[in-house]
Structures are given as structure tokens and as C-alpha cells.
Amino acid sequence: MNDVPTYALYGEQIGVRQHEWLHWETIQSRSRLHGYTIAPHRHEHLFQILSLTGGSGRVFLDGAEFVLQPPVIVLVPAMTVHGYRFSDDVEGVVVTLMQRDAADRIGRVSAGVLEHAVAAPMAALDDLVVEADRFGAWHDEAMLARLTLLLVALQRSRNLPGSLGIAAARSKRHADLFRDLVEQRFREMRSIADYAVAIGISQTHLNRVSRQALGASPLAVVERRIALEARRQLMFSTLTIKQIGSGLGYDDPAYFTRFIRRVLGVSPSEFRNGRRG
């Protein structure tokens, strides 16, 4: 973490400017200065809310990557390492406030991306920005009230389906990597531990994400893919059962027959002859 720069706002070292408790600016105004690429960095005490309403982009949150298509909101609590790449037609705003102000109202806020039901928080964000530029009687009270309404709208939105946090994004990415690797290696790779090593996670974590994202244990996912290929070969190829088993990594025909009987409910020859389990 020591190599990740810690800024007040991006590109501004802490202490360069004196901040009020809330700051807002368009995404275009700052990202344009940096070629629409904001390198990974973090803020020590600031909580940021990015609302993307036009263009597109990607955000990196503590190692997880999200594609941003409007309308979408990104939540970045203090000390979260984050970076962006935007299209040059990007539109939207970034609101920055003190982490303690968010925590005082709604408790701990975790990083994440809100992709669904964002109309209410975006409207609340617009109201807050309008009030921020309107000075007059009861301004501070109105700002705090609008901030509370915004934070409540964000929490309500993130509790709906489609809002991904960092942990969920990582789990999905690991599950996708596992599924792709199974597709590539199911003929020769049987060990779940080997799959976990190839993905770069523990076997326990692989078991958890496979069950959550794919609805089955890693072994069941591998065996389902083998069984699918075996069915195809038995039904549509002229290869012998021994050749099919060997091509799927079963050099022992008896072991292949036992596997097929277990997963299909019948022997390979019975399946080929039209008897289905």
C-alpha cells in the first residue's frame, strides 16, 4: 500500500488546498487534464461518489475491475485504491465528502458499483449539487439534510440485485476464470487443487465461488463438462468407447465405464444404443 499515492483530490497532495466538508466537480473537468486516465490512488479521509451519466469507462477498486455504462454510480470510501479510464465524451459528476460524515449517518460504507435502481440516488445527488451552489438562509442545514437523503438512497439502491461490491466482483471473476479453464482443460486436468493454483486462489475459495456463482462444487462442474462431451461423442461419433474414454483422459476403460454409469445412469454402450438414464 505504501507505493499507492494518497491524495486529497486526484493530483493534489494533501495540504495543497483548504477543503470545505463537501466538494463537487464534473468528471470531464478533471479527467480531461489527465488524458481521461486516473491512475490508481487513494484518499485518506475522503468518501467519493461518482455518477456517470454519459460516455463510458472502467473503474478499478482494490483490484476488482468494473465496466461502467451509464447510468451508474461508483462508491469509493476512504483508503480504497481506485483508478479510472474514461471515454473522452464522459459526462457526470464526482462528489467528495468526509468519510466521517458518511459514517455518522449510515455507518460503514463499502466500495462498490450501483448499476440498477440508480434514479433515486442520482436525483438526490443532483439536489445536493444544486444546494451546494445556493448560498442563503439555512444553507448548512439544507446541505446536511440533502446529504442524509442521498446516503439513504444509495444504501437502498445497493441492497437491490445488480449492485456489485468488490468481494462479489472478485468472486464472479474467479468463477468465470474457472469456467473458462474447465472448458480448455477438462480433458486432462482432474485435480481441483490444480485448477485453484492455475487461477491463483485457494481450493477452499474456489469451492465457495463455484457453489455461489455456478451452483455446483468445482468437481461437479468439471464432471458435468466431461459428461457433456462424452454424450456428444457417444451419440454422434464413430469412435469406440475406449477411444472416447482415452480422449477424455480415461486410459482405463473400466474406470471410464464406471464414471459414465455414475453421471449418466447407464453404461457407455447402453447410452450409445439408445438407453438413456
**pLDDT tens digits, one per residue of 123-171:** 999 999 998 888 788 888 898 899 999 999 998 887 665 555 666 667 7
Domain membership flag for residue 1:
no
Please tell me the distance from the alpha carbon of residue 141 to that of residue 156, in angstroms, as a whole number: 23
One-letter amino acid at 212 equals Q
* Buried b / exposed e along 45-60 (16+ C-beta atoms within 10 A): ebbbbbbbbebebebb
Average pLDDT over residues 219-235: 91
Please give the grid coordinates belonging to residue 148.
442524509
Residues 211 and 157 in one domain: no
For residue 223, the enclosing domain spans 167-272
The CATH number given to whatever domain includes residue 215 is: 1.10.10.60
Residues 84 and 157 in one domain: yes
Asked whether residue 18 carries a pLDDT value surpassing 60, the answer given is: no
Average pLDDT over residues 242-263: 94
Beta bridge partners of 51: 73, 93
Residue pair 83/108 in contact by the 8 Å Cβ criterion: no
Residues 39 and 106 in one domain: yes
Please give the grid coordinates belonging to residue 8.
486529497
If one compares 20 and 115, the residue with the highest pLDDT of the two is 115
Please tell me the distance from the alpha carbon of residue 264 to that of residue 267, in angstroms, as a whole number: 8
What pLDDT shows up at residue 178? 93
Residues 153 and 18 in one domain: yes
If one compares 59 and 101, the residue with the highest pLDDT of the two is 59
Residues 140 and 178 in one domain: no
The CATH number given to whatever domain includes residue 117 is: 2.60.120.280
Number of compact structural domains in the chain: 2
- Mean residue pLDDT of the chain comes to 86
Residues 125 and 78 in one domain: yes
Residues 126 and 174 in one domain: no
Closest of 147, 132, 140 to residue 99, by C-alpha: 147
For residue 87, give the 3-state DSSP assignment.
coil
Closest of 243, 239, 179 to residue 206, by C-alpha: 179
Average pLDDT over residues 76-94: 93
Angle between helices 218-236 and 166-185 (to 10 degrees): 30
**pLDDT tens digits, one per residue of 177-221:** 898 899 899 999 989 999 999 999 999 999 988 887 788 899 999
Q: What is the largest CA-CA distance in the chain?
A: 87
Contacts of 277 (CB under 8 A, 6+ apart): 264, 265, 266, 271
What pLDDT shows up at residue 49? 95
Please tell me the distance from the alpha carbon of residue 259 to that of residue 197, in angstroms, as a whole number: 25
Radius of gyration of the chain (CA): 26
Residues 153 and 266 in one domain: no
Average pLDDT over residues 28-54: 94
Q: How many residues appear in the chain?
A: 277
